[in-house]
């Protein structure tokens, strides 16, 4: 791949804080149970008049401000989301218009929680052809598709958006290597059954609750703990770096307890693992760019630091990026 420069980062979460006590009430669990199972203490949920594009626009503006460029200089706007405003048009079209990115190619990428890394790979091709700069936004609004009574899912998710401004690599931060994986035979582990061409969201689907997000949590955990260590080690080998060379690890913020279980098996002995899930929960495709932005704005990274980004989720899919700060 051609190195991609990172010119700025940004993120946005809704104002409304949803505590474990609030989200657990309808699901029949309490704060202690949720904390013990997930390490999540609160999350942010969007207001009733907000959609995914609203969060994406706010994060995109923050990233553009960080980069010091205007939206008019963008050649592409890519939104990674599995909770679009509507089935069509792409949510990126709304974002492009509201940001004023006239002339930018705008499209969505859906690789669920790995979506931001898949979007990075897509942008590499766009920049190679069109040049200029691109805006990649991971944005999800899961509160709209959660079953309030399903304790396996409703306690995990928050809403949010994170963004990166990308362009030709220079002396600053850059993406050095990318790798993407999909295990389609496991696609049934995470899904929203109704609402597509296979099963329209008609009254019978609504009565059966098939419009809600569904997940086989036990098998998802088996996938992550079974696949992530080997995939990570292979990725680092292919990138030409040793695990001890990694200074920072920014994983998808799926579940804090699961991360506690799997991170020691990655052999990243010198890396600081960054987390935002305690206060934001699992924000889907937004979780990696939000966490990267929070860490960057806190001054956690120094020039030359190697940062490993790792996403995993529905598909089942996994994505990795090596960033040199």
Beta carbons of 208 and 192 less than 8 angstroms apart: no
End position of a domain, from candidates 143, 171, 199: 171
The secondary structure element, H or E, covering residue 199 is none
Q: Average pLDDT in the 240-249 region?
A: 96
Question: Does one domain contain both 188 and 161?
Answer: no
Helix (H) or strand (E) segment spanning residue 231? helix 217-239
Q: Which of 76-90, 195-209, 210-224 has the highest mean pLDDT?
A: 76-90
Range of the domain at 193: 176-324
pLDDT at 57 over 80: yes
Which residue of the set 20, 110, 255, 282 is catalytic?
282
Report the chain's mean pLDDT, rounded to a whole number. 95
Do 154 and 181 belong to one domain?
A: no
For residue 170, the model assigns a pLDDT of: 82
Please say which residue of 150, 171, 192 terminates a domain. Answer: 171
In this predicted structure, what is the pLDDT of residue 129?
A: 83
Residues 114 and 20 in one domain: yes
Q: Identify whether 133 is a catalytic site residue.
A: no
Q: Is the pLDDT of residue 130 over 90?
A: no
pLDDT value at 184 more than 90: yes
Q: Identify whether residues 83 and 121 lie together within a single domain.
A: yes
Q: Of these residues, 12, 248, 252, 274, which one is catalytic?
A: 252
Whether the CB-CB separation of 135 and 163 falls below 8 Å is answered with yes
For residues 152 and 37, state if they share a domain.
Answer: yes
Average pLDDT over residues 49-69: 98
- Read off the pLDDT of each residue in 205-227 and give the average, rounded to a whole number: 93
Q: Looking at the structure, do residues 114 and 138 belong to the same domain, yes or no?
A: yes
Residue 156: give its domain's CATH number. 3.40.47.10
3-state SS of 109-171 is: ECCHHHHHHHHHHHHHHHHHHHCCEEEEEEEEEHHHCCCCCCCCCCCCECEEEEEEEEEECCC
- For 266-318, what is each residue's pLDDT tens digit? 999 999 999 999 999 999 999 999 999 999 999 999 999 999 999 999 999 99
Quick one: 145 and 196 in the same domain? no
Judge whether residue 109 has pLDDT over 70. Answer: yes
154 & 69 share domain: yes
Residue 222 and residue 98 share a domain:
no
Say whether both 113 and 183 belong to one domain.
Answer: no
Residues 36 and 108 in one domain: yes
Of 171, 187, 211, the last residue of a domain is 171
Active site annotation includes 201: no
Establish whether 282 is a catalytic residue.
yes
How far is residue 144's CA from residue 160's CA, in Å, rounded to a whole number?
12
Burial class of residue 282 in the structure, from the number of CB atoms within 10 Å of its CB (0-12 exposed, 13-18 middle, 19+ buried): buried
Q: How many domains does the chain have?
A: 2
**Percent of residues, the chain, with pLDDT higher than 70:** 99
Mean pLDDT of 21-34: 95
The verdict on 222 and 142 lying in the same domain is no
Helix (H, G, I), strand (E, B), or coil: what is residue 175? strand
pTM of this structure: 0.95
User: Given 113, 133, 255, 274, which residue is catalytic?
Assistant: 113
Give whole-number Cα distances, 168 to 93, 172, 197, 304, 325, in Å. 24, 10, 39, 17, 15
pLDDT exceeds 70 at position 159: yes
**What pLDDT does 238 receive?**
96
Q: Is the pLDDT of residue 1 over 60?
A: no
């Amino acid at each position: 791949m051609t190195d991609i420069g990172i010119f700025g980062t940004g993120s946005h979460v809704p104002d409304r804080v949803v505590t474990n006590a609030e989200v657990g009430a309808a699901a029949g669990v309490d704060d202690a149970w949720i904390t013990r199972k997930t390490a999540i203490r609160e999350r942010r949920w969007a207001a009733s008049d907000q959609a995914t594009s609203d969060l994406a626009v706010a994060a995109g503006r923050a990233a553009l401000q960080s980069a010091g460029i205007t939206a008019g200089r963008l050649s592409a706007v890519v939104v990674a989301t599995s909770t679009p405003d509507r089935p069509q048009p792409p949510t990126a079209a709304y974002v492009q218009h509201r940001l004023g990115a006239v002339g930018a190619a705008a499209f969505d990428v859906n690789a669920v929680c790995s979506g931001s890394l898949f979007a990075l790979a897509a942008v590499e091709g766009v920049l190679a052809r069109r040049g200029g700069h691109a805006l990649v936004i991971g944005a999800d609004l899961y509160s709209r598709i959660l079953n309030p009574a399903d304790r396996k899912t409703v306690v995990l998710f928050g809403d949010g958006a994170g963004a990166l401004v990308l362009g030709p690599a220079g002396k600053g931060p850059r993406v050095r290597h990318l790798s993407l994986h999909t295990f389609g035979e496991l696609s049934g582990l995470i899904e929203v059954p109704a609402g597509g061409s296979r099963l329209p969201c008609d009254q019978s689907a609504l009565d059966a609750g098939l419009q809600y997000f569904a997940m086989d949590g036990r098998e998802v955990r088996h996938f992550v703990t079974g696949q992530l260590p080997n995939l990570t080690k292979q990725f680092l080998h292919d990138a030409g770096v040793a695990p001890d060379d990694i200074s920072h690890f920014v994983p998808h913020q799926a579940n804090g307890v699961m991360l506690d279980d799997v991170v020691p098996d990655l052999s990243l002995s010198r890396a600081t693992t960054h987390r935002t899930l305690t206060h934001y929960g699992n924000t889907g495709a937004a979780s990696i760019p939000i966490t990267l932005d929070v860490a960057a704005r806190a001054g956690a990274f120094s020039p030359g630091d190697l940062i490993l980004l790792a996403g995993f989720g529905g598909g089942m899919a996994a994505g990795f990026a090596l960033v040199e700060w």
